[in-house]
């Protein structure tokens, strides 16, 4: 074991036990999920962040790569009350600093009261609080990471074959692998495209659906994805998840804002405004749609804070979700979203998972 310190933006320096050595910095956020640590750590939406787990024991059912959402760990560091040895070995294999034996309840309370904050981390034999403060001094805010899409997107187009139900152009702003698999399982052919794909490249592909994925940071940093929405809205159906909802809203005249501490976990209640039904959802985002603009209607809202969880324009064939309908690790209340997306091009497959209706 080694020394570890977290220097917080509020001026505090917290001492902990070092599990994986290293020095780093990022935005300190927390997740309330008590399962799904493999999915969380491999979720590209956590890029440039330091992930704190509020559940006290992380690693109690091992590490299995079939649960991964991407090919690597994305948070810059991981914090928990206690990590198991198997998780520590996994984090160490990717040189991701890790600390535990820390009061995560206190950290979470601080974030809830003061908002997500910058932090600096120093882990290793002989590190000092000043080392952590030096990292903090170099930390940028999430809105300053203008090139963050390059860090999480594919470099070249990738193709995943379904059964020809529809051709989907998935703009990869940091897409979770389960989004692609959810579409392919329903028969869609999925073209995973770089976040900076041009209008002409999409036009040449001639897809049936344009789909904007989840991803990290400020949606304002994904201007090219917004340009695609502006260009193809009304011509082909458009869908979006998480960051994708924010990008679609901005492209169609809406506005977004940074949340105090975001939504991260598997227990966020969402109500459909037409049916009144409430479902539990998986979420991971630090920004939200403030105003949807004149072209989109809010179809679903968060029960806790009234933020927009679903947007739609039936005439333009636009449908988005702020939460993650692919629901890894769960719950599975909202898997029917993918049926609804494909229904815009005539899909009449399995709709047994549909739990929340749209306008």
Residue with tokens 């379904």: 162
Residue with tokens 């309370």: 109
Q: Is 342 annotated as a binding residue?
A: no
Q: Is 200 annotated as a binding residue?
A: no
**Cα Dmax for the chain:** 63
Residue 168 makes CB contacts below 8 A (sequence gap 6+) with 183, 188, 189, 190, 191, 207, 208, 209, 211
119 classed as catalytic: no
Q: Do 175 and 339 form a contact (C-beta atoms < 8 A)?
A: no
CA 20, 26, 30, 36 torsion-angle sign: negative
Indicate the length of the chain as a whole number: 359
Q: Is 217 annotated as a binding residue?
A: yes
Q: Is 45 annotated as a binding residue?
A: yes
101 classed as catalytic: no
Q: Is 36 annotated as a binding residue?
A: no
How many angstroms separate the CA atoms of 64 and 207, rounded?
34
Please pick, among 38, 69, 135, 326, the residue that the annotation labels catalytic: 326
Give me the DSSP letters along 62-101.
---GGG-SSSS--SSEEE-SEE-HHHHHHHHHTT--EEES
Q: Is 182 annotated as a binding residue?
A: no
Q: Is 304 annotated as a binding residue?
A: no
285 classed as catalytic: no
Please pick, among 47, 139, 242, 309, the residue that the annotation labels catalytic: 242
First and final C-alpha spacing in the chain: 55
Q: Is 49 annotated as a binding residue?
A: no
Rounded (5°) CA angle 128-84-97: 35
How many angstroms separate the CA atoms of 93 and 17, rounded?
19
* Per-residue b or e along 78-106, where b marks 16 or more CB atoms closer than 10 Å to that residue's CB: bbbbbbbeebbebbeeeebbbbbebebee
Cite the annotated binding site for L-glutamine by residue number. Answer: 45, 215, 217, 243, 246, 284, 286-287
Which residues does the annotation place in the binding site?
45, 215, 217, 243, 246, 284, 286-287
Catalytic residues: 242, 324, 326
């Amino acid at each position: 074991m080694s020394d570890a310190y977290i220097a917080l933006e509020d001026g505090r320096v917290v001492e902990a036990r070092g599990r994986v050595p290293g020095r780093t910095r990022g935005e300190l956020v927390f997740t309330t999920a008590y399962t799904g640590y493999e999915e969380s750590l491999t979720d590209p939406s956590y890029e440039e962040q330091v992930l704190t787990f509020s559940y006290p024991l992380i690693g109690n059912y091992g590490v299995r790569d079939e649960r991964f959402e991407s090919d690597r760990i994305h948070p810059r560091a991981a914090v928990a009350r206690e990590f198991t040895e198997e998780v520590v070995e996994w984090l160490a294999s990717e040189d991701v600093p890790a600390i535990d034996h820390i009061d995560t309840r206190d950290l979470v309370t601080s974030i809830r009261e003061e908002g997500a904050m910058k932090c600096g981390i120093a882990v290793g034999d002989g590190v000092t609080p000043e080392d952590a403060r030096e990292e903090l001094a170099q930390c940028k805010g999430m809105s300053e990471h203008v090139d963050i899409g390059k860090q999480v997107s594919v470099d070249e187009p990738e193709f995943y074959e379904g059964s020809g139900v529809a051709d989907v152009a998935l703009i990869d702003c940091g897409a979770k692998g389960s989004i692609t698999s959810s579409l392919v399982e329903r028969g869609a052919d999925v073209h995973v495209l770089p976040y900076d794909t041009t209008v002409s490249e999409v036009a040449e592909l001639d897809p049936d659906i344009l789909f904007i994925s989840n991803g990290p940071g400020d949606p304002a940093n994904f201007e090219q994805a917004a340009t695609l929405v502006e260009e193809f809205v009304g011509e082909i159906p458009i869908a979006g998840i998480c960051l994708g909802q924010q990008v679609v809203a901005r492209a169609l005249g809406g506005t977004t804002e940074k949340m105090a501490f975001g939504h991260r976990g598997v227990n966020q209640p969402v109500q459909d405004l037409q049916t009144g039904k409430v479902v539990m959802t998986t979420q991971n985002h630090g920004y939200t749609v403030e105003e949807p603009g004149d072209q989109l209607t809010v179809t679903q809202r968060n029960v806790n804070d009234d933020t927009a969880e679903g947007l739609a324009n039936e005439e333009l064939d636009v449908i988005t979700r702020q939460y993650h309908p692919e629901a890894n690790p769960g719950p599975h209340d909202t898997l029917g979203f993918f049926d609804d997306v494909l229904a815009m091009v005539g899909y009449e497959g399995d709709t047994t998972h549909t739990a929340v209706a749209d306008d």
